[in-house]
Amino acid sequence: MTLLEVRDLCIDYFTSTRVIHAVRGVSFDVAPGERVALVGESGSGKTTTALALMQMIEPPGKIVGGTAKLNGTDLLALRGDAVRASRLANVAYIPQGAMNSLNPVLRLREQILDGLVDHGQRLDRKAADALVAGALKGVGLSPDLARAYPHELSGGMKQRACIAIAIAMKPDLVIADEPTSALDVITQKQVMATLIAAQEEIGCGLLLIGHDMGLMAQATNRVIVLQHGLIAEDAPVGRIFTDPQHAYSRMLIDSVPTLGKRAETAAPAVIAKPEAASLMEFDKVSKTFGGGLFGNDAVRALDTCSFRLADEHPQIISVVGQSGSGKTTLARMVLGFETPSTGEIRYRGKPMAAMRAEERRAYRREVQAIFQDPYGSFNPFYKVDRALSLPLANFGLTTQGGSARSRMEEACEAVGLDAGEVLGRFPHELSGGQRQRLMVARALMIGPRMLVADEPVSMVDASLRMTILGNLQRLKDRFSISVIYITHDLATAYHVSDYVLVLHKGRIVEAGLPGDVIERPEHPYTRSLVDAIPWPDPNRHWGTGAPDRAGWDARQIIRGQSAGFVLNAAG
């Protein structure tokens, strides 16, 4: 028995000169109570397919063919008011932008009830109160929140509220479009658990849209892989992860880093000799924003910390934390974009605040960065070449005119880019992956001693992430560059780094070698983070334990030091 039967679904987008076949003859089934993943990278047609089931394709898009029978009724053949009536009652939708999906000027109560009222339900005040309270409790929210406005809720609470609204009429099918993409991993796990519990409670089918194979392994029964608007593979979750039939499915699965398969390259931990020349040193550095004369609240972005990075032993230091943990503040202080509120930062033994002009110049050249948003890193007014040629000119790295071009070409090839294809273009003409690799090429060309990589792959398609991280690793080995890798993603940190710092609310809570910190976490916060990683392995269950929030403020744990990086205990 099937709940949903999609056959030959075709959706086109029309521009003035072209037709883009966004979805090309897609067919699949969903059984009652089944959770089906619709996976693909951006532009694969996954969201378009889902929106079509509610006839929510906006012009210039158009459904040009196919059927989608839900319990025997063709959803695509509905016309007029029946389209509206089937939404929420039969097919419900949980939107992607959890942060902005609730009407900012209406209380939650009204946003839960208005859908019911418009589907003909008549409720007196008492019945309505009971219904709202039940809906909120069903997703783990307090009934008192009925009177709250969206801005009073956290991101996770907003997404729970969206779930409560969507399932209020016990629909036959729920479509969840990347419901956790804006949330941190710990909240993601809890919200997914809530969604699955609610879905099992009402026994509806669930179509979960996303790009994270790990999440799909944990949350669904069956995975449909979409590529270029076609189904590449449609298989039960137990089989697709062990025996993918399509090269693209395999690539998606392989692009998710897992623990335990780490290539041990790092030398065993040794305590760096104190007399070794230091490259960068944080001496009791902290950073506080705000406060002062005008009395806005001061925010402690980074608690006092001290560490020393030696000039020898180049290595990758990962700084892991969620948003607001202070990891970006740390990176910006390393780059000299922020000055510490207390303490001193020294580069090659020289305090940054007291550098002479030529020392400052050398520091500028030797400490480089790669930022999260590769598009924003390019000035949209110029061709991309300028991002590479500017440092060459400013730092006097070339003397002859001809060699600038050849150095740029060399750098492109070193990161696997075809120089002829990318140079001479404007930034918007390149893909996200190409732009970010150009940024790596730029850093490489300058030949720094130290590189800060601030979330360098979080805005890049999954298939390119490991490639770019691999570039960073080769950079380190070939040119002896120390890398500070800032990320929210424990799994990639596990793979690329020699040493890991875990930051929580501006405090380093745990530090050590990746094999220790991430495989055998000791601090309750690190443990919550590791527990929340969705493994791309349906046999390794995610667990249902709630995070130990009370323990997150426990004292710092430092396990082992690395060659060339010395972290002093807080205090």
Touching other proteins, residues 201-240 (CB under 8 A): 227-230, 232
Nearer to other proteins, 92 or 183 (CB): 92
Task: Report how far residue 202's alpha carbon sits from residue 409's, in angstroms, rounded to the nearest whole number.
Answer: 59
Exactly one of 69, 119, 239, 405 binds other proteins (CB under 8 A); that residue is 119
Q: How many CB atoms lie within 10 A of CB 320?
A: 27
Contact between 450 and 484 (Cβ < 8 Å):
yes
Under the binding rule (CB under 8 A), the answer on residue 247 touching other proteins is yes
Q: CB nearer to other proteins: give 265 or 399.
A: 399
Q: Find the binding residues for other proteins in span 258-287 (CB under 8 A).
A: none
**Hey, is 223 helix, strand or coil?**
strand
* Distance of closest approach, residue 513 Cβ to other proteins, in angstroms: 30
Q: Which is nearer to other proteins, 438 or 509 (CB)?
A: 438
What part of residues 429-488 is at the interface with other proteins (CB under 8 A)? 446
Among the listed residues 289, 395, 447, 479, the single contact to other proteins using CB under 8 A: 395
Tell which positions 318-377 bind other proteins, by CB under 8 A: 335, 337, 361, 364-365, 367-369, 371, 373, 375-377
Closest CA relative to residue 207, chosen from 25, 28, 461? 28
CB of 229 or CB of 564, closer to other proteins: 229
Stretch of 104-112, 124-132, 350-358, 405-413 lying at the interface with other proteins (CB under 8 A) = 104-112
Residue 47 lies near other proteins (rule: CB under 8 A): no
Phi and psi at 438, nearest 5°, equal: -60, -35
Question: Strands 278-289, 299-310: parallel, antiparallel or unpaired by DSSP?
Answer: antiparallel
Residue 391 touching other proteins (CB under 8 A) = yes
Candidate residues 101, 159, 286, 315; the one interacting with other proteins per rule CB under 8 A: 101
Nearest to 305 by CA among 480, 76, 510, 486: 510
Choose the stretch contacting other proteins; rule: CB under 8 A; options: 18-26, 132-140, 303-311, 539-547.
Answer: 18-26
Closest CA to 236 of 262, 217, 254, 215: 217
Of 73, 245, 406, 539, the one binding other proteins (CB under 8 A) is 245
- Residue count of the chain, please give it: 571
Which single residue is written with the structure tokens 């609240």? 297
Interface residue with other proteins, options 7, 21, 348, 350 (CB under 8 A): 21
Task: Establish if 543 lies at the interface with other proteins (CB under 8 A).
Answer: no
Identity of residue 250: R
List 93, 307, 494, 499, residue binding other proteins (CB under 8 A): 93
Nearest distance from C-beta of residue 360 to other proteins, angstroms: 10
Q: Pick the closer one to other proteins by CB: 89 or 566.
A: 89
Encode 489-518 in three state secondary structure: CHHHHHHHCCEEEEEECCEEEEEECHHHHC
User: What is the end-to-end Cα distance of the chain in Å, rounded?
Assistant: 64
Interface residue with other proteins, options 149, 259, 383, 559 (CB under 8 A): 149
- Per-residue DSSP letters for 459-486? TS-HHHHHHHHHHHHHHHHHHT-EEEEE
Three-class DSSP category at 397: coil
Closer to other proteins by Cβ: residue 97 or 324: 97
User: Quick one: which segment of 92-100, 260-268, 340-348, 562-570 binds other proteins (CB under 8 A)?
Assistant: 92-100
Measured from the CB atom, the residue of 375 and 551 that comes closer to other proteins is 375
Element (H, E) at 130: helix 125-138
Query: Cα 292–298–301 angle (5° rounding)?
Result: 125
- Scan residues 158-177 and list those touching other proteins (CB under 8 A): 162, 165-166
Stretch that binds other proteins, among 244-252, 283-291, 481-489, 490-498 (CB under 8 A): 244-252
**Shortest separation between residue 562's beta carbon and other proteins, angstroms:** 26
Helix/strand/coil for 333: helix
- The first and second tokens of residue 509, run together, are 């809570």
C-beta closer to other proteins: residue 102 or 412? 102
Q: Which of 278, 313, 335 is nearest to 486 (CA)?
A: 335
Query: The tokens 């459904």 sit on which residue?
Result: 63
Shortest CA distance to 411 belongs to which of 383, 389, 394?
Answer: 389
In this complex, which beta carbon is closest to other proteins, that of residue 484 or of residue 518?
A: 484
Name which position in 42, 73, 100, 342 contacts other proteins (CB under 8 A): 100
Rounded least distance, CB 17 to other proteins, Å:
4
Crossing angle for the helix pair 185-202 and 524-531, to the nearest 10 degrees: 50
- Among residues 242 and 539, whose Cβ is nearest to other proteins? 242
CA dihedral 227, 233, 238, 239 (to 10 degrees): -130
Supply the minimum distance, in Å, between the C-beta of residue 115 and other proteins: 4
Interacting stretch for other proteins, rule CB under 8 A, among 19-27, 31-39, 126-134, 213-221? 19-27
